[in-house]
């Protein structure tokens, strides 16, 4: 097993524990909800010359990776706002960068397991959707989504804390040469020790995501294979359910060659044959190309619905608003969906995009919205379907998963 890979992931995870434990049952940090007395700006002024964005790998392309994929250059030429991107590998990393980046970052493409922490921590500001001309083109399923729309002052009026960007499903990535005519149909290939179709064990040849939200993937697997646990929502776990998920992850640890968060490192590992199966994003599958494939297994999948959110102290708010409007352009949305393997937040992007093709949105899962368990921050006060509300909060997900990655006993809970 690759000890260096495990230690690298452990170091990253340890650096993020403070973020998850920084405040509140949900693991947010930094001082309460954003001040409702500071309303969104009412007009866009002179562009400041740049915009600094924290984003997932592959989310903001300037043509340097592939000339066909460039939604930055034209924006820079039109607005005079230079786009500077800081790539993050996990939601916890995004939260840490935003919380420590006052006066540095303008925007972040936050997933649902980060967005509410950023709102509750006072790290992001409400967005004036009246300044986003393309707002009406956004998918109605996303416009008022609970991961970016919050009643912060308790008056019954919800405020928007961002503009939807893209959404999609996590996938099981696999090497076609290894699996041959027996492609995997279950997540068991990464959770249970077994002999793969090439006659070799999966031990040391599989990977797992090193973000604590991956506990939900284990819970999703257990929901199908241990129904007696009664798991309904993989983000709302009782102590018994949570402990079972951690036990599964401890078992998986003996199989893992690398806990990944860098998409390009995972791509290298698959190209080099060091990994043959793993949870992944469609982005890696697209980059790997021939010889590699992915599937949403029979147990279902977790996924993401990402929102472009604005720092409460954004140094370049005018360029930030201009970028949010630009990000909803149908061509930008369609090109990005083609590149990443995601689904546009603007449905009209599915029509007539040369790179995406006529069936691109269907292939990427636009009809699967209701089947995806979208990332969200686990809360202690969780209101499960059985009427109870005593769930394991996110900071315990982090401390326990750090222990799993580090080869230590998980932190005992009661």
Q: Where in the chain is the domain with CATH 3.40.190.10?
A: 3-10+171-280+381-405, 31-168+304-374
pLDDT at 410: 84
Q: Which of 59-68, 151-160, 336-345 has the lowest mean pLDDT?
A: 151-160
pLDDT at 41: 82
pLDDT at 202 over 50: yes
Strands in 292-295's sheet, in edge-to-edge order, are: 256-260, 206-209, 277-280, 171-175, 292-295
Beta bridge partners of 372: 301
pLDDT at 147: 92
305 in helix, strand or coil?
strand
In the structure, what pLDDT confidence band is assigned to residue 39 with cuts at 50, 70 and 90? low
In the structure, what pLDDT confidence band is assigned to residue 409 with cuts at 50, 70 and 90? confident
pLDDT at 142: 97
- Cα 260 to the chain's mean position, in Å? 13
Answer whether 238's CB lies under 8 Å from 392's CB.
yes
In the structure, what pLDDT confidence band is assigned to residue 360 with cuts at 50, 70 and 90? very high
Quickly name the fold that domain 3-10+171-280+381-405 has. D-Maltodextrin-Binding Protein; domain 2 (3.40.190)
The DSSP-derived string for 327-383 is HT-HHHHHHHHHHHT-EESSGGGGSS-TTT-TTHHHHHTGGGGGGEEE-----SB--
> Top-level CATH class of 31-168+304-374?
alpha beta
Average pLDDT, the chain: 89
Query: Exposure string (b/e) for 317-336, b if CB count within 10 Å is 16 or more?
Result: bbbbbbbbbbbbbbbbbbbb
Question: How many whole angstroms separate alpha carbon 401 and alpha carbon 387?
Answer: 27
pLDDT at 319 over 50: yes
Strands 277-280 and 171-175: antiparallel
268 in helix, strand or coil?
helix
Question: How many whole angstroms separate alpha carbon 251 and alpha carbon 248?
Answer: 5
């Amino acid at each position: 097993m690759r000890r260096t890979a495990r230690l690298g992931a452990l170091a990253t995870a340890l650096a993020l524990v403070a973020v998850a434990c920084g405040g509140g049952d949900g693991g947010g940090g930094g001082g309460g909800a954003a001040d409702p007395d500071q309303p969104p700006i009412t007009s866009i002024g002179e562009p400041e010359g740049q915009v600094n964005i924290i984003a997932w790998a592959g989310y903001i392309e300037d043509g340097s990776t592939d000339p066909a994929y460039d939604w930055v250059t034209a924006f820079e030429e039109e607005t005079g706002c230079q786009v500077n991107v800081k790539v993050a590998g996990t939601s916890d990393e995004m939260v840490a960068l935003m919380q420590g980046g006052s006066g540095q970052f303008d925007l972040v493409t936050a997933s649902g397991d980060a967005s509410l922490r950023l709102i509750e921590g006072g790290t992001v500001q409400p967005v004036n959707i009246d300044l986003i001309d393309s707002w009406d083109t956004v998918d109605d399923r996303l416009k008022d989504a609970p991961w970016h729309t919050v009643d912060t002052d308790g008056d019954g009026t919800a405020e928007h804390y961002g503009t939807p960007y893209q959404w999609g499903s996590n996938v099981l990535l696999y090497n076609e040469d290894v699996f041959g005519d027996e492609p995997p149909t279950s997540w068991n290939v990464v959770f249970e020790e077994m002999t793969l179709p090439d006659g070799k064990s999966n031990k040391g040849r599989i990977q797992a995501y090193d973000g604590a939200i991956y506990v939900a993937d284990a819970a999703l697997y257990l929901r199908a294979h241990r129904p007696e646990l009664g798991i309904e929502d993989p983000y709302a776990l009782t102590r018994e359910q949570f402990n079972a998920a951690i036990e599964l992850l401890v078992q998986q640890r003996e199989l893992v060659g690398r806990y990944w968060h860098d998409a390009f490192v995972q791509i290298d590992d698959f190209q080099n044959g060091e990994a043959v199966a793993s949870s992944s994003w469609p982005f890696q599958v697209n980059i790997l190309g021939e010889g590699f494939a992915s599937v949403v297994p029979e147990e279902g999948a977790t996924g993401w619905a990402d929102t472009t959110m604005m720092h409460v102290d954004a140094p370049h708010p005018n360029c930030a608003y201009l970028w949010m409007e630009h990000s909803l352009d149908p061509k930008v949305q369609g090109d990005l969906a083609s590149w990443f393997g995601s689904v546009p937040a603007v449905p009209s992007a599915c029509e007539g995009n040369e790179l995406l093709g006529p069936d691109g949105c269907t292939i990427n899962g636009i009809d699967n919205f209701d089947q995806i368990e979208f990332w969200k921050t686990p809360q202690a006060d969780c209101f499960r379907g059985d009427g109870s509300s005593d769930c394991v909060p996110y900071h315990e997900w982090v401390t326990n998963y750090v222990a799993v990655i580090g080869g230590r006993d998980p932190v005992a809970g009661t």
